[in-house]
Every structure is written in C-alpha cells, then in structure tokens.
Amino acid sequence: MHDSTHNAQFPAEAARFWDNLYRGKDAVWKGDPNPVLAETAAQLSPPGRALDLGCGEGGDTVWLATHGWHVTAVDIAPTALRRLTQHAARAGVTDRVSTQQHDLAETFPAGTFDLVSAQYLQTPYDLPRADILRRAAHALTPGGLLLIVDHGSVRPWAWNTDPDTRFPRPEEIFDELALDPARFTPVRLATPEREATGPNGQTATVTDTVVTIRPT
C-alpha cells in the first residue's frame, strides 16, 4: 500500500469537521460497500484501475480491491485513511490499495482510471462539486465509467435532517457538469429506492440519485 499526503493547505474547518467525525467513534460506517457501487462495478470486466473519491473508512475501496481492482482512495480526513489502511490489511489487499489525502477543491489525484466512484460526495461546506466531477470525467480511460451516487432523500441519521432539503435530479447533476456531448454520454440517470440501515441500526427507505457517464 502506498500512502501520500499532498501539501496543499486544507481548509481547516472542513478538514477538522470530517476528521473529528471519524475520531469521535471507533467506526463511523459498517465497512460494507455502497450497494450501487457494488452492483455497477460487478458488471465491469475486467477490473482495472479505480479512483474512490471521498473514500471514508474504505468500505468501497476494500470491496473493489477484493474483486481485483487496483484502487486509489482519496479523502480529506487522515483518520479515515488510517482506518482504511487497517481495513485493507485485514482483508489482505494492501497491494491493490493506495491512499492519498486531498482537499478535492484544491488538488486532484494524477493519472487515468477505468472507474471513478463518487459516492455521496456531499458536505456541509462549500465544495466546487461540478468542477471536481468534471475533472473526474476527464480522468477516465477510453471506455471507463464515472459513477456518481448522491442522497436523494433525507436519512434520519444524516447530519442534515432538514425536511425541506432540495435534492437535484440526476439530469440536473449531469447538465451541471457541462461536459462536451461529443466526448461524454450519460449511461444511467435514475433515482432508485432501497432499504438502508444507519450507523446505529436504524432502518429507513431512502432514495439514491444515480448518474453514470462514459467517454464516447
């Protein structure tokens, strides 16, 4: 496993928020992969190089690595990356995982990828999401896939439980990226529902907003 910390100055408040979130509990997430990520990646063959943006404690990263992917895992929170490293070691996939600490508003991983995963890349702080996701699309190899999954409904255990929260439609998310239609095609624009379990065992029906994009 390769670990790297980039020297850009992380916005202190955002970095502190996310690292404190992880430091406040032994584990924030269950360590399982996000369902849409697992469903989508299982259909891609052969596994290649993946980029996990906002990887957290590494449930998606480790799942991808155990299924043959070589994964670059990126997060702003060093505590999350340390836990991911431990998770990868327990799963025996350290040779297929590298971690990088980035504030994606400032820096982005180098290289090209067969799969870029942005699972719930949402934050209470300002983030140039469209710019980041546009850059992610341009980091795809020919035939690669950008998978964006956002929250499409309020989850009872979320940091934002405002019932009046507006969730953009998948078409809006895709249009906001302003990608060249001659170079990129939306493959899936959907809002599937699923039963989800929160960090303390709560259950609820939630909606995901799913956008997948391929280079043409």
- Please tell me the pTM assigned to this model: 0.86
1 pLDDT band (50/70/90 cuts)? low
Residue 26: predicted pLDDT:
63
Residue 94: predicted pLDDT:
97
Report the share of the chain in percent with pLDDT over 90: 65
**Architecture field, domain 2-6+33-187:** 3-Layer(aba) Sandwich (3.40)
Q: Where are the domains of the chain?
A: 2-6+33-187
CA atoms within 13 A on the CB side of 193: 5
Residue 5: predicted pLDDT:
43
CA distance 3 to 82: 9
Highest mean pLDDT range out of 76-90, 130-144, 164-178? Answer: 130-144
Residue 84: predicted pLDDT:
95
